[in-house]
Chain A
Amino acid sequence: MFWSYVKITVRNVIRQKLYSAINILGLAIGVAACITIILYVQEELSYDRYHEKADRIYRVALSARIGGNDFNVALSAAPIAGTLLEEFPEVETTTRIGYLGGYPVIRYGDKVFSEERYTTADSTIFDVFDIPFIIGDPKTALTQPNSLVLTESTARRYFGDENPIGKLMTSDKVNERMVTGVIKDFPHNSHFHYDFLLSLATSPDSRSTNWLNNNYHTYIVLKEGASAEELEAKFPDMIRKYVGPQVEQALGVSWDQMAEDGSSYEIFLQPLTDIHLHSHLDREIEVNGNITYIYIFSIIAAFILIIACINFMNLASARSASRAREVGIRKTLGSNRGMLVRQFLIESIVLTFASVVLAVILVLLILPWFNNQVGLQLSFRYSNLPWIVLGTILVGILAGSYPAFFLSSFNPVIVLRGTMKSSGRGSRLRSSLVVFQFTISIILFTSTIMVRNQLDYVQEKNLGYAPENLLVVEKTDDIGQQIQAFKLELAEQNSVLEVTNSTCIPGEPPSGESVFGMSTPTGDQYQILAMYFTDFNFLNTYGMKMAEGRFFSKDFSMDSNTVVINQAAVEAYGVEDPVGKELIVFGGPDNQNARIPIIGIIQDFHFESLHSPIRPMVIVPYRTRIFGGPGPTFGRYTTLRIQPYDISATLASVEAIWAGFALDQAFEYTFFEDNFNALYNNEFRTQTLATMFSVLAIFVACLGLLGLASFTAEQRTKEIGIRKVLGATVPGIFTLLSRDVLNLVLISALLSLPISWYAMNNWLENFAYRIGYSLLTFIIASLVALVIAVFTVTWQVIKAATTNPITALRYE
């Protein structure tokens, strides 16, 4: 029985080529999209779950409000780890990973690399995390100072096939580190990926008792059954005991007084497995994912699948007229309803199965390309296959249930008499399903365009400087004081217009953030300012503008003891005529606060992504005495404003000059715009994905529409024939037939307006600087959907409208 149904299904597929292609292809695309998204979601949800103690590991983070400024950082102070272990019995182990500002240059033999994934870590890191060793002993690898553990690929990079254990590597030509272990590379679903782990015992700061410098990512393991909430509840007392006195000493204000002034200081725990999708603190180790996008893409996956299922149901019910006779005959010959339901369900499951097989093949073929497009490393998980089979049967039943119960209900007397009319109810249902499909399509389409517009906006918005034609040579701090000579030589090049060296550039985290004070008529005001250290040519090179006063200049010998602040800082302090006033800097060597004159106000510029508003900042020239000693004298970034032509020649000459100073060290550069735009990688990925999937959704919906149109035209062949006999023209018939589609798309557009409005406004709130919901975009999206829909049905409609009426009438 079963095989006979399969046989009939296969013959039906072959006989009804258009119908079958639409059905199987449409569903296959839907399922392929769905599987791809599920792979993506599974990947994102799998982060950090591979650690054996994953459900007991927490990261210690800080949320504080001091002087009206909020800190939300993934860091904590050096002594916290030890204190937690000593004072709270529920803590089993702790470990710290250092937060390093710079990137060392590592040498072994003739191998030299500037290493970005280099950090310090407590020896207990291997007790907390599952980090498999290839060579070495996790118990002792990081216990001694200057011990270095490498990942497998890094070891191969420096040592080839040589055994690296016991070898010495030089860091910044200053320190020698001994390799004590080689570990497996971190899997891609880890929230951190380091190539080097240096024993934290190497750093004297690791033994610091200062609770105010937060320089460590601290992780703790709770004992089985211990509650994180209960532990967190004990933190306020710990903070009062340790942080309170140190704050009092630094600021001269009592802990209680600060709390009264609205300050707060909270240490909290983040479950390890929540970090990748839920944590958006400052100073995360890597850019994390976002749970919102997981939800959005899951919904899109469901939508595409539903659209494809709707096609299936719609086409099957539209074809009911041609299946009706078969139902009638089978009933006459003794089939009961249950047997017919079974037949149609099996048919549906067989078709679904074909689609899913096709879909899996599609996914396997497309995944490499897809990964490349969106910058992911998804791979097909064969462990999903049982679920896919189960899903197939479910989708088959879901998509087949309506036609099965609908078709099997036919009365054989009526269908065989040939007087069965396609019921009004059926066509109304089909119309609503089409409306549903197009509503989703228009929403997706509108959103895609708006995401694109917003990203264009953030890229084109005036950043407060000219981001074009800026070449950034990185890690120039490696040549130390030679930077001056390097800059001079660069400036002599015709292709180089301006050169500047700074510790930081827009798009990268500021070089520091510190509390500065200012005397105002209402008393001293304290604000956290982001800090940049630059040379005198920073303003000119970037093309920034002053609002008041002047930037640093060689013409003023005193300028290495002045600062410039931005307009946002002026506003934050709430002072008038800030030029000439002084910034109060805390913490000199003798705890004497220093005062530095402000010589100018720089116009606000975006030094962070447009997700955040422009924060108060201070620009400090090199050598300025700050925090009790002279500031840095050179920085990591040398920015060149270059001629917009002959870029490759310019690059070659800059590299040659660099080689003259840096000798064996690699020339690393970026173009400023590329670097800055990387801040929107998450959004670019969203845009790429949303574009792909909305195009797919519309395509699948149109496939369905094409099928429906062909059946409508077929069904109405007689009506069209009669109308033509009575004098209807071809354009008249065309209008008649396409009007239905037009109405459906218009209804869809109306329905999608509020939904897309709500969805897009929500998304746009992620940006501090954003476009509004654009009605024009919505109208364009709707029109495009309309045109595509009309275009889809045109071929079928024209075919029907131009048929010779005699043929049409003979069709009866």
Chain B
Amino acid sequence: MIKTKDLCKVFRTEEMETTALNDLNIDIQNGEFVSVMGPSGSGKSTLLNVLGMLDSTSSGEYHFNGEEVSLHSEHQRADCRKRNVGFVFQSFNLIDELTVFENVELPLFYLKVPGAERRKRVDEMLDQMGIAARRNHFPQQLSGGQQQRVAVSRAVISNPKVIFADEPTGNLDSSNGKEVMELLAELNNQGTTIIMVTHSPTYAEWGHRTVHLFDGRIVAEATNGKPHA
């Protein structure tokens, strides 16, 4: 599903050059759940952004589902992204002006799904996530856990092949955090590939394997005991 070869990402400003990803090679199979760990500044988020096609590569190869993405224009990347990828963020990133329903609907909107089908799919999704009662609420009216559930709903509404989660539990207490992890594990069980950045070793263990980053390189890789159900 995801395969990189000597992937580099360099940030340049007028005075300095920062190498965020350094000849990174990673291979992720369809249906895998991969946790990414590492200290601040090790390149975790950059990796997620590049793999999620939010950001371009500086050099190296990046194959997504057989496509060579590193040669794509921004427009092509965006197109590939909206068809294949969903995102979950630490800070939820819901749009404050939109209701729960409208936030979840948004990706379908951009995929130009017809209105009736959009409503049907979003209603089903909200039901499934147990937040149907909140459909007309605005994000500020929800608890953190509920907000993240909306965010996850929004990430999966378009049936993406891969979900990128950037510290999805970072802003949640432990019980809400656990709930979100269960959601992700469930999605993974249904076949969605998940790549998750986390600081928490406990949550990392929910993945099939954990990749450790340091200074933009993979320094260690461990297969976890058994995936949680």
Which A residues form the contact surface with B (CB < 8 A)? 1, 4, 8, 11-12, 15, 325-326, 328-336, 339, 412-413, 416-417
With A331-B54, A339-B110 known, 20 other A-B pairs at CB within 8 A are A1-B109, A8-B97, A8-B98, A11-B98, A12-B97, A15-B96, A326-B95, A328-B93, A329-B93, A329-B94, A330-B95, A331-B78, A332-B54, A332-B93, A333-B82, A333-B106, A333-B154, A334-B111, A335-B110, A416-B89
**B145 is an interface residue with CB less than 8 A from chain A:** no
**Which of B78, B102, B111 has its CB near the most chain A CB atoms (within 10 A)?**
B78
Query: Which residues in A have their C-beta under 8 angstroms from that of B110?
Result: 330, 333-335, 339
Do A326 and B49 touch (CB < 8 A)? no
How far apart sit A412 and B81, CA to CA, in the bound complex (Å)?
13
Which B32-65 residues have a C-beta within 8 angstroms of A?
A: 45, 49, 54-55
Query: Which residues in B have their C-beta under 8 angstroms from that of A11?
Result: 97-98
How far apart sit A333 and B163, CA to CA, in the bound complex (Å)?
12
Taking A1-B109, A334-B81 as contacts, is the C-beta distance between A326 and B89 under 8 angstroms? no
**B206 is an interface residue with CB less than 8 A from chain A:** no
**Which of A328, A331, A334 has its CB near the most chain B CB atoms (within 10 A)?**
A334
How far apart sit A339 and B102, CA to CA, in the bound complex (Å)?
17
Number of interface residues of B (CB under 8 A): 24
Query: Which residues in B have their C-beta under 8 angstroms from that of A416?
Result: 89, 93
Instruction: Render B97-137 as a binary contact track against A, CB cut-off 8 A, 1 for contact.
Output: 11000100011011100000000000000000000000000
- 6 A-B contacts (beta carbon < 8 Å): A8-B98, A12-B97, A331-B54, A332-B93, A334-B81, A417-B45
Query: Which residues in A have their C-beta under 8 angstroms from that of B87?
Result: 332-333
Main secondary structure of the interface of A (DSSP, over half): helix
Taking A333-B82, A334-B82, A334-B110 as contacts, is the C-beta distance between A413 and B95 under 8 angstroms? no
Query: Which residues in A have their C-beta under 8 angstroms from that of B55?
Result: 413
Do A325 and B45 touch (CB < 8 A)? no
**B226 is an interface residue with CB less than 8 A from chain A:** no
The residue from A8, A333, A413 contacting B49, defined by CB atoms under 8 A apart: A413
Closest residue of A by beta carbon distance from B54: A413
Closest residue of A by beta carbon distance from B151: A329
Query: Which residues in B have their C-beta under 8 angstroms from that of A334?
Result: 78, 81-82, 107, 110-111, 158
Query: Which residues in A have their C-beta under 8 angstroms from that of B109?
Result: 1, 4
Pairs A-B, 4 closest by C-beta atoms: A334-B82, A334-B110, A11-B97, A333-B107
How far apart sit A417 and B93, CA to CA, in the bound complex (Å)?
11
Closest residue of B by beta carbon distance from A339: B110
Do A329 and B45 touch (CB < 8 A)? no
The residue from A329, A331, A339 contacting B95, defined by CB atoms under 8 A apart: A329
Instruction: Render B73-98 as a binary contact track against A, CB cut-off 8 A, 1 for contact.
Output: 00100100110000101000111111
Query: Which residues in B have their C-beta under 8 angstroms from that of A12?
Result: 97
How far apart sit A620 and B111, CA to CA, in the bound complex (Å)?
95
How far apart sit A326 and B54, CA to CA, in the bound complex (Å)?
15
How far apart sit A325 and B93, CA to CA, in the bound complex (Å)?
8
How far apart sit A4 and B110, CA to CA, in the bound complex (Å)?
12
Query: Chain B's nearest CB lies how many Å from the CB of A128?
Result: 65
Closest residue of A by beta carbon distance from B80: A334
How far apart sit A11 and B54, CA to CA, in the bound complex (Å)?
28
**Which of A15, A326, A413, A417 has its CB near the most chain B CB atoms (within 10 A)?**
A413
**Which of A15, A329, A330 has its CB near the most chain B CB atoms (within 10 A)?**
A329
Closest residue of B by beta carbon distance from A16: B97
Closest residue of B by beta carbon distance from A332: B87
Closest residue of A by beta carbon distance from B155: A333
How far apart sit A416 and B91, CA to CA, in the bound complex (Å)?
9
Instruction: Render B142-171 as a binary contact track against A, CB cut-off 8 A, 1 for contact.
Output: 000000000000100010000000000000
Query: Which residues in B have their C-beta under 8 angstroms from that of A332?
Result: 54, 81, 87, 93
How far apart sit A362 and B89, CA to CA, in the bound complex (Å)?
47
Do B93 and A336 touch (CB < 8 A)? no
How far apart sit A329 and B45, CA to CA, in the bound complex (Å)?
16
Taking A4-B109, A331-B78, A335-B110 as contacts, is the C-beta distance between A15 and B54 under 8 angstroms? no
How far apart sit A328 and B78, CA to CA, in the bound complex (Å)?
12
How far apart sit A408 and B50, CA to CA, in the bound complex (Å)?
20
**Which of B93, B111, B154 has its CB near the most chain A CB atoms (within 10 A)?**
B93
Query: Which residues in A have their C-beta under 8 angstroms from that of B97?
Result: 8, 11-12, 15, 326
How far apart sit A417 and B95, CA to CA, in the bound complex (Å)?
15
Query: Which residues in B have their C-beta under 8 angstroms from that of A335?
Result: 110
How far apart sit A413 and B77, CA to CA, in the bound complex (Å)?
14
How far apart sit A15 and B139, CA to CA, in the bound complex (Å)?
14
Query: Chain A's nearest CB lies how many Å from the CB of B140?
Result: 10
Query: Chain B's nearest CB lies how many Å from the CB of A330?
Result: 7
How far apart sit A329 and B102, CA to CA, in the bound complex (Å)?
13
Query: Chain B's nearest CB lies how many Å from the CB of A10?
Result: 9
Query: Chain B's nearest CB lies how many Å from the CB of A388?
Result: 29
**Which of B55, B97, B106, B110 has its CB near the most chain A CB atoms (within 10 A)?**
B97
How far apart sit A507 and B209, CA to CA, in the bound complex (Å)?
101
How far apart sit A330 and B81, CA to CA, in the bound complex (Å)?
12
Query: Which residues in A have their C-beta under 8 angstroms from that of B154?
Result: 333
How far apart sit A331 and B75, CA to CA, in the bound complex (Å)?
11
The residue from A4, A331, A413 contacting B102, defined by CB atoms under 8 A apart: A4
Query: Which residues in B have their C-beta under 8 angstroms from that of A412?
Result: 54
Do B106 and A330 touch (CB < 8 A)? yes
How far apart sit A339 and B106, CA to CA, in the bound complex (Å)?
13
Query: Which residues in A have their C-beta under 8 angstroms from that of B111?
Result: 334
Query: Chain B's nearest CB lies how many Å from the CB of A131?
Result: 62
How far apart sit A11 and B78, CA to CA, in the bound complex (Å)?
28
How far apart sit A138 and B54, CA to CA, in the bound complex (Å)?
82
The residue from A4, A8, A326, A336 contacting B78, defined by CB atoms under 8 A apart: A336
How far apart sit A326 and B139, CA to CA, in the bound complex (Å)?
13
Query: Chain B's nearest CB lies how many Å from the CB of A411?
Result: 8
Which B173-215 residues have a C-beta within 8 angstroms of A?
A: none
Query: Which residues in A have their C-beta under 8 angstroms from that of B106?
Result: 330, 333
How far apart sit A325 and B106, CA to CA, in the bound complex (Å)?
15
How far apart sit A1 and B112, CA to CA, in the bound complex (Å)?
9
Closest residue of B by beta carbon distance from A328: B93
Query: Chain A's nearest CB lies how many Å from the CB of B164?
Result: 10
Query: Which residues in A have their C-beta under 8 angstroms from that of B93?
Result: 325, 328-329, 332, 416
How far apart sit A328 and B158, CA to CA, in the bound complex (Å)?
18
Query: Chain A's nearest CB lies how many Å from the CB of B79?
Result: 8
Closest residue of B by beta carbon distance from A9: B97
Closest residue of A by beta carbon distance from B95: A326
Closest residue of B by beta carbon distance from A415: B93
Query: Which residues in A have their C-beta under 8 angstroms from that of B158?
Result: 334
How far apart sit A812 and B109, CA to CA, in the bound complex (Å)?
32
How far apart sit A330 and B110, CA to CA, in the bound complex (Å)?
9
Closest residue of B by beta carbon distance from A416: B93
How far apart sit A1 and B105, CA to CA, in the bound complex (Å)?
12
Query: Chain A's nearest CB lies how many Å from the CB of B175?
Result: 25
How far apart sit A280 and B87, CA to CA, in the bound complex (Å)?
74
How far apart sit A96 and B219, CA to CA, in the bound complex (Å)?
105
Query: Which residues in B have their C-beta under 8 angstroms from that of A333?
Result: 82, 87, 106-107, 110, 154
Query: Which residues in B have their C-beta under 8 angstroms from that of A329?
Result: 93-95
How far apart sit A49 and B213, CA to CA, in the bound complex (Å)?
82
Query: Which residues in B have their C-beta under 8 angstroms from that of A8?
Result: 97-98
**Which of A1, A4, A326, A416 has its CB near the most chain B CB atoms (within 10 A)?**
A416
How far apart sit A413 and B93, CA to CA, in the bound complex (Å)?
12
**Which of B89, B94, B106, B111 has its CB near the most chain A CB atoms (within 10 A)?**
B106
Query: Chain A's nearest CB lies how many Å from the CB of B119?
Result: 13
Query: Chain B's nearest CB lies how many Å from the CB of A92?
Result: 67
How far apart sit A1 and B113, CA to CA, in the bound complex (Å)?
11
How far apart sit A336 and B45, CA to CA, in the bound complex (Å)?
22
How far apart sit A542 and B64, CA to CA, in the bound complex (Å)?
101
